[in-house]
Structure 1
């Protein structure tokens, strides 16, 4: 039988191999973490784009509840028919479950708005979540103000014109934000987007 290596040589070789392996694993870990951080901050992924679209359902349903249901019946039948087959079931579910909006609102706030958020730092998603929350609050305020007006005014020509204007404001701002999210670009809605950026800068 060939002579075995002394135990102390085996220990030295084993220790060296283990130390080298640990050091290599540590370097790979540091490189991966730094790459992920750089990638998340400088690149907007498909997940970022898709995740940024979802929160806009909240202000959209709120706007359809406040203004769409009143003016959409006056639009051409074909448009109303498309609305009935697509968005109307969601709006009905949203209206019949009023607590749902507040639950979604607080979940989004907890996950993305708080300073100590449990979610990873994804600036693009956070920007769009904040913007959707702000649009939701604006829609809620406009809806409550419009409903507080006398019914005679709301049913008049001027009331319908005001409701129509508010409806298209909601629809266009949300559509614009969604298109920008798909493109991987930050939306620039006057005042609203600026307020979101100020809020983000104050928490960084």
Structure 2
């Protein structure tokens, strides 16, 4: 049924559902926080940890789009089969709907980054959302730069080495950030985390 609808209609429906989910999650979040009477904003709840993981899907999908699709076919078949069964359908949907990334980007910015955000100020979630946005922008810049290189270089051994390095940089930073979010600790990625801290401090 969805295949018969125009692309913009499908994108609008998914965006509307995403916004409703965000509102529902934060209404539940407010209820949980109030029920436990946690007045200290620095207290990191389970909802904070889980909510901090979700934004990292954006840079992950961007990294898989820019670098993963080129190098993953050269990896062992077992790894590629796992990728095809898990992440590949999401990546294909992400690639075929490029406007979705920018919609999610602006929704995250509106809900978490702005000083007059409509959602409660939770420093841990705000830090991770801002860091995921910065990783997304870095991935986009690296991907655009790599695609601008001559195709002869990109398909050569050195090009594949560069692509492989960029892919593992993206993957390692995201995995590290997700692990730190689960632990309830702030990630310390050189330069990137410092830039996020500076941005948050400037908004206070």
Same fold (TM over 0.5): yes
Aligned to 1:61: 61
Pairing 1:66-145 to 2, within 5 Å after superposition? 66-145=66-145
Give, in whole Å, the separation in 2 of the partners of 1:172 and 1:153: 25
Aligned to 2:39: 37
Q: Which runs of 5+ in 1 are unaligned?
A: 1-31
Give the superposition deviation at 1:43: 1.1
Give, in whole Å, the separation in 1 of the partners of 2:167 and 2:113: 27
Are the aligned partners of 2:42 and 2:124 in contact in 1 as well (CA < 8 Å)?
Answer: no
Are residues 1:198 and 2:189 paired?
no
Q: Show CA shifts across 1:39-89 (max 9, x none).
A: xx2310000000000000000000000000000000000000000000000
Aligned to 2:26: none
Give, in whole Å, the separation in 1 of the partners of 2:42 and 2:123: 9
Give the superposition deviation at 1:37: 3.0
Q: Which runs of 5+ in 2 are unaligned?
A: 1-33
Q: Show CA shifts across 1:112-151 (max 9, x none).
A: 0011000101000000000000000000000000000000
In the alignment of these two chains, the number of paired residues is 170
Tell me the secondary structure at the aligned position of residue 42 of structure 1: coil
Give, in whole Å, the separation in 2 of the partners of 1:163 and 1:52: 28
Give, in whole Å, the separation in 2 of the partners of 1:179 and 1:72: 23
The runs of at least 4 consecutive aligned structure 1 residues that moved more than 2 Å come to: none
Tell me the secondary structure at the aligned position of residue 62 of structure 2: helix
Tell me the secondary structure at the aligned position of residue 39 of structure 2: helix
Q: Show CA shifts across 1:25-46 (max 9, x none).
A: xxxxxxx79x5432xx231000
Aligned to 2:170: 170
Q: Which of the two has higher C-alpha Rg? A: 1
Give, in whole Å, the separation in 1 of the partners of 2:93 and 2:157: 29
Aligned-residue RMSD, C-alpha: 1.1
Query: TM-score normalized by structure 2?
Result: 0.82
